[in-house]
Structure 1
């Protein structure tokens, strides 16, 4: 969970830097419930999705269909790239104008191509947020299962607790690989952009 908050904030930093957006960091709260922490990430993912949709729609409006498809596939010729980069800069504002066209376009393409990653993570967090134990404070989970039992004892029976834990385990089976994929994709795009940036700066 901590790593997903960190990865989401890193993605937001990249979007702020290169696309002129203004996302504030979000923080994991161990005193809040599992659901409340999941909802915080879901809300931020939806905000990112909304910004990606805006950019995507503007590009669809301003580019010819064949050029838009070439952009998505990153199969642009040099003249086409120059045309597309000017449209991307106009779409993304001042921050993009200050950056190199190569990594701004790279970021925009990655966002358009990977909207399913954001959607999948939102769905996974939603599943975690609706299981029985999601009302327990996240810090209790970090402390261990015995603490969970002590926290819930008296409010639900032992068999209900075991059933809830089984339900939670099933949700976590989806959560772990999905969150790893999410974090890996964000790391990949950040590293790719930095490599391109350093390569361009070295050439200059």
Structure 2
């Protein structure tokens, strides 16, 4: 099947995006549960939640991680800096998948030394901005129009969704250019086919 590699990359990109959405869902549920604990008086906003090997009340107990409930709630904000940083890392990881696994596989399948993609070229620019320029995009963009030159890449949930949607368009372009066939990838998965 000539489009199998592109299909695997599409599935991995959708899975990456989906994992972020699942994390957001779990975060929302956990935020609600913490809110219920605070409302019921079981704990207080300045009490600490500690995670580690030792029981927290043992003498000399050491926590691997400790946070107040107020700090925990701040982390659970869907648009917190932590969540934006996680989304930025997903962009970096998506480019790593392309560069290290799928681009070489497509090159081999198509008998081409060099496989070029405007979408993944822009993703490289996003990645470089995130890793090397504190998120500040200092290059012009061709097709991934979510962020432009001068923007800081700290994706909201909607911006991440749009990046991944545009990457699927880029995969369709790769299909046409290198396989002579449009795979017809569309955003999302039908629930009731």
TM-score interval, normalised by the smaller of the two chains: 0.3 to 0.5
**Larger strand percent:** 2
- Structure with bigger helix share is 1
User: Quick one: higher RCO (CA 8 Å, sep 6+), 1 or 2?
Assistant: 1
**Could you state the TM-score of these two structures normalised by the residue count of structure 2?**
0.37
Give the TM-score normalised by the residue count of structure 1.
Answer: 0.35
